[in-house]
Structure 1
Amino acid sequence: MATPTRTDRSDPAGPPPTAPQGRREPTALRSRLHRWGHLASPYLFVAPFFLVFAAFGLFPLLYTGWLSLHRVSLYNVDKADWVGLQNYSDLLFGPPSHYFWNALGNTVTLGVLSTVPQLLAALGLAHLLNYRLPARGFFRTALLAPYATSVAAATLVFALIFSPEGGMANWLLGLVGAGPVRWEAGPWSSQIAVSVIVIWRWTGYNALIYLAAMQAIPRELYEAAAIDGANRWQQFRNVTVPELRPTILFTVVVSSIGATQLFGEPYLFGGQSGHQGGADHQYETLGIFMYDQGFHSSMLGRASAIAWIMFGLLLLVGLANTLIARRLRSAT
């Protein structure tokens, strides 16, 4: 009997039909497009941010750095003479160094006078609003009213309050037997007045941040502290503050950055007398000094150098707060 061949054992129906070549290519093309779209879609979603940042953030930063190495006039921007680090040297050691160090010192003192009371008051207000008070929703909404007020409106109102003639601040001092104060004339009185404006505008904003963080603290911690006999102050010190440590560091960093960039409040506070920053530069900040060098003295290169020094200060502030945060985190 003959052995069947390989072809005899195969399916009599024959091999399955293959798809035409003309139909396979569109399917493969669609699969490749789908795979590319899946890979590229995250980058397309974030691309608008990077495009806007490149146009309005990165390019001005690099262009300002280029200007800081040149002598450029406001009235002839196309003509720039290379001077290297001369603008930085003049600010630190040259003729304008006195005004620069004065503005830097005023920026630091104004930052301390406005940031420390602001954050302490915000922490206290948030702690009070965290309890079940009557009309608690109204008070929470009212905290945002100063933040929503424009800088110009708030500063002009406070300039009238601190006016040496008929101002409410001197009227209140008269009630306790103190004499009138020329708030804008003295170095400390003017900085206190400007700090009050900053404190009024930003305390409510930081209080809401603290309040949101407090509401995320587990109630079991407070209940356990109450069972151990802790009163409200002890609960606040031993439970609330340690749990709020990351939030407090965040507000310190943001407030420090805002204090370094302080411009509107001191500029408009001196606008009533025509002296932005004070007649003796007693509350002139780095922001006002940069504006004066760029637009009043027509020295864009020097103004750009001030901007880069401010940028370096912001980096140092952020780095210092990061190191403090790591030290506190490792300590716990």
Structure 2
Amino acid sequence: MSTTAPAAPTKGTPRASVPRRRGGWNRFAHKGSPYAYIAPFFLLFGLVGLFPLLYTVNVAMHDWDLLKGQGDFVGFGNFVEILGDEMFWNSIRNTLSIFLLSAIPQLAVALLIAYLLDRGLRAPTFWRMSVLIPFVVTPVAVALIFSSIFNEADGLVNNLLNLIGIADQQWKQDTFLSHIAIATMVNFRWTGYNALILLAAMQAVPRDLYESAAIDGAGAARRFFSITIPSIRPTLIFVIITATIGGLQIFAEPRLFDVSTAGGIGGSERQFQTTVLFLWELAFFRRNFGEASAVAILLFLLIVGIGLINFLISRRIATGNGPRVSRRELRRARRNGEHA
């Protein structure tokens, strides 16, 4: 059996393309260009984010007056003073109470609104824009409007309660009632915003999963908890984390809720003074920047800790037994598509 040698390429015949090795500069540009694209963000973050954070640590280590400037080095003395201050712990309790009263109902209602908007309502653009209107209103306007609504003398809420035989409530004097009123402001402004974020995630879920689950007899609640929640888990975790950060940094609502009578420090007996409001009082009323910076660092650690706990809990809840069911439904949907 004879073998034939490959014919030599004639003149004009194109040669097989051979990949060229990248030169040093081309290799560097290829691998380094992504870092160059994201570098402006990190430079800006270092300028307006990281540097102020490190500078706050430096201020917290000194006896720092608002007008006189830097004083003596005190080390952790400011932290010791703050941790021994009962008003600090009162602000922590108020912040956590308002956070729980606002974050939990807010996320639950946002999930429900997003689910209803995802069901194919008529005029969907109108309803999506409607739930976003409260977010457009400035926090100052929201605080002033709800401060009037919860007014103890002639507020709308007390007038409605009087119609059903309930006496006037001390919304601005009672600790728990004032927390409910402030949480209502927060929920009014942020529920629609979070609902639209969750809606965008829900619309990315394959419809074949819902159709296959409905054919198998799964009800609406079963489809929601076994398909929707596991599928939007990353977005749900993001919303929970952002709600945690915003809820623990609340300032405008308690600042303006009773500013006319309590001076904006969180009530006559500080019954709704949050940690950021306590920080503001230390910095600009007492002019003690050192202790105010210590409060800021302690609040930062609290937010990181609670955010981490929320991340772990939400990840466990969102995972549950849902992903296993979701993958099974996905395989069934694909088989149904092949047989169709």
Report the TM range for the smaller structure's normalisation: 0.7 to 0.9
* Displacement after TM superposition at 1:181 (Å): 1.3
For 1:289, the aligned partner's letter is F
Residue of 274, 284, 294 corresponding to 2:283: 294
Residue of 125, 137, 148 corresponding to 1:160: 148
Is 1:116 matched with 2:104?
yes
Is 1:55 matched with 2:47?
yes
Deviates more, 1:34-43 or 1:209-218: 34-43
Quote the Cα distance in structure 2 between the aligned partners of 1:35 and 1:211.
42
* Structure 1 segment 92-103 matched on structure 2, within 5 A: 92-93=83-84, 97-103=85-91
* Displacement after TM superposition at 1:297 (Å): 0.5
Quote the Cα distance in structure 1 between the aligned partners of 2:223 and 2:316.
24
Quote the Cα distance in structure 1 between the aligned partners of 2:42 and 2:305.
25
Quote the Cα distance in structure 2 between the aligned partners of 1:251 and 1:325.
10
Deviates more, 1:36-45 or 1:170-179: 36-45
Residue of 237, 250, 253 corresponding to 1:262: 250
Quote the Cα distance in structure 2 between the aligned partners of 1:271 and 1:326.
40
Q: Deviations over 1:239-277 (max 9, x none)?
A: 222323332222111111111111111111122322421
TM-score, normalization: structure 1? 0.84
Quote the Cα distance in structure 2 between the aligned partners of 1:198 and 1:44.
39
* Structure 1 segment 1-332 matched on structure 2, within 5 A: 41-77=33-69, 79-93=70-84, 97-273=85-261, 274-324=263-313, 327=316, 329=319
* Displacement after TM superposition at 1:84 (Å): 0.8
Quote the Cα distance in structure 2 between the aligned partners of 1:244 and 1:319.
19
Equivalent residues, number:
298
SS in 1 for 2:169: coil
Coordinate RMSD, CA, aligned: 2.0
Unaligned runs of 5+ in 2: 1-22, 324-340
TM-score, normalization: structure 2? 0.82
* Displacement after TM superposition at 1:232 (Å): 2.1
SS in 1 for 2:272: coil
Identity of aligned residues (%): 42
For 2:64, the aligned partner's letter is V
Deviates more, 1:198-207 or 1:53-62: 53-62
SS in 1 for 2:217: coil
The answer (yes or no) to whether the contact 1:214–1:244 under 8 Å persists in 2 is: yes
**Cα gap change, 1:240 to 1:173, in 2 (>3 Å):** same
Quote the Cα distance in structure 2 between the aligned partners of 1:217 and 1:142.
24
Quote the Cα distance in structure 2 between the aligned partners of 1:254 and 1:121.
16
Which residue of 2 is the match for residue 27 of structure 1?
A: none
Q: Deviations over 1:254-304 (max 9, x none)?
A: 111111111111111122322421111111011000000011001000000
The answer (yes or no) to whether the contact 1:144–1:205 under 8 Å persists in 2 is: yes
**Cα gap change, 1:41 to 1:230, in 2 (>3 Å):** closer
